[in-house]
Amino acid sequence: MTREQFSGIDDYLIKRRSQRGLSQEGLALELQSYSELFADIDSLAISRWERGKVSPNIRRQIALMEFFSDEAHLLLSNPDFELKQLPSMSAFQKMLDQQTSYNHVMGAHPYIPSDNLNFDKVNKHADNAGQMIRWITHYHSNLTRQRENWDPAFITPLVEHASTEVTFYQVDGVLIGHIILLRVSPQILDALLTGQMDDCELTPAHLISNDQAASTYMLSAYLGGRHIAEDYLTHLLLSLIENPLTLALGYRARSDIGIKLMDFFTGIRVATGEPLTDRLDGARYNGKRYTYVSFSIQREDLLSSPLLLNLMRHSSEADR
């Protein structure tokens, strides 16, 4: 149903309510039955929203769009759709600059120029995908200081599954970033995040097809420098949001930048791995270091994330 253009939530509500043939009171009553988010809403609140006196928070705006059978991410990603409550990306940009410009362990490539860098984005069907996978196994073993030794025999069958999404970022054939997204059941995701199941126990039999409801598990990810950060994150988030059958995102953060990204995504901590003492090892959370810290983000929370909305709107603006 999402085809019309709207200037903001006030314009959207007026038009959609009129199309549905509802009074302000009638809409308030239907919304109360639709979601607990609107339990305290009355016709006066609807009137104030439509007159632009106040604006419902982003979570409520998303619920309103879903009530009217619209795809919220398509509306909210339009830079012309006014979002008065959307924070700027300045804090996120500052974090990226700090993490990817100076700390080579967490993502900078000191041999590759950082200004106006052109990179290639390839998928799992690339001719050199096998080499990329081998490099990822080395990366993971180094990242975990050999606590978790991956090999191509483990990763390759998972990557080759039809529902697995893989992106490799390359410069002159050198891997500078990657992401591997697996579709699993909520039960398997919970087992992975709580430590009941190790990554290496995953097999293609655990994976779920794209036409079924599933959670997404970020098996491996590496943000290889400031120059690919926005493309990397926009690609990740849109791949999750654009499939309405995606229920949640889960991730085991094994580095400081992984923790910071989950903070910006408003991720909920699920569990922590073994404690560590080396200040450069593992992921730092609440003043302590762990082999990993796992996070889960429900679809509705991800969609209302200021980071996601800013990235989507910035991407849409750049495409014009």
Confidence of residue 104 (pLDDT cuts 50, 70, 90): very low
Give tens-digit pLDDT for 274-299: 999 998 899 999 999 999 999 999 98
Give residue 251's pLDDT.
96
Give residue 97's pLDDT.
67
Confidence of residue 53 (pLDDT cuts 50, 70, 90): confident
Domain span at residue 46?
Answer: 9-76
The two three-digit tokens of residue 222, written as one number: 């590496």
pLDDT score of 199 more than 50: yes
Indicate whether 60 and 177 sit together in one domain: no
Element (DSSP H or E) covering residue 150 = none
Q: Is residue 1 part of a domain?
A: no
Indicate whether 108 and 51 sit together in one domain: no
Confidence of residue 16 (pLDDT cuts 50, 70, 90): very high
pLDDT score of 312 more than 90: no
CA atoms within 13 A on the CB side of 195: 12
Give residue 228's pLDDT.
73
Q: Is residue 83 part of a domain?
A: no
How far is it, in rounded angstroms, from Cα 29 to Cα 14? 16
Count other Cβ atoms within 10 Å, centred on residue 250: 23
Tally of domains in the chain: 2
What residue spans of the chain are helical by DSSP H?
9-20, 24-34, 43-50, 58-67, 72-76, 90-101, 129-143, 152-160, 186-193, 226-241, 256-264, 299-303, 306-318
Indicate whether 66 and 99 sit together in one domain: no
Q: Is residue 200 part of a domain?
A: yes
Indicate whether 197 and 156 sit together in one domain: yes
Q: Are 61 and 11 in contact (CB under 8 A)?
A: no
Indicate whether 247 and 101 sit together in one domain: yes
Indicate whether 61 and 123 sit together in one domain: no
- Between the alpha carbon of residue 226 and those of residues 97, 171, 219, 233, the distances in Å are 7, 14, 22, 11
Q: Is residue 194 part of a domain?
A: yes
Indicate whether 72 and 100 sit together in one domain: no
Q: Is residue 112 part of a domain?
A: yes
Confidence of residue 114 (pLDDT cuts 50, 70, 90): low
Question: Per DSSP, what are the bridge partners of residue 298?
Answer: 248
Q: Are 190 and 150 in contact (CB under 8 A)?
A: no
Residue after which a domain boundary falls, among 26, 46, 76: 76
Indicate whether 72 and 144 sit together in one domain: no
Residue 46: give its domain's CATH number. 1.10.260.40
Which pTM does this prediction carry? 0.80
Residues 6+ apart with CB under 8 A from 175: 132, 135, 136, 168, 169, 224
Residue 204: give its domain's CATH number. 3.40.630.30
Higher pLDDT, 41 or 224: 41
Give tens-digit pLDDT for 148-164: 999 999 999 999 999 99
User: Which one, of 298, 157, 292, 307, lies nearest residue 215 by Cα?
Assistant: 298
Q: Is residue 230 part of a domain?
A: yes
- Give me the amino acid identity at 19: Q
Indicate whether 208 and 234 sit together in one domain: yes
Indicate whether 25 and 113 sit together in one domain: no
Give tens-digit pLDDT for 200-217: 999 999 999 999 999 999
Q: How far apart are the first and last CA of the chain?
A: 22
Q: Is residue 167 part of a domain?
A: yes
Q: Is residue 35 part of a domain?
A: yes
Give residue 144's pLDDT.
93
Indicate whether 254 and 294 sit together in one domain: yes
Give tens-digit pLDDT for 242-280: 788 999 999 999 988 888 888 877 889 999 999 999 988
Indicate whether 49 and 95 sit together in one domain: no
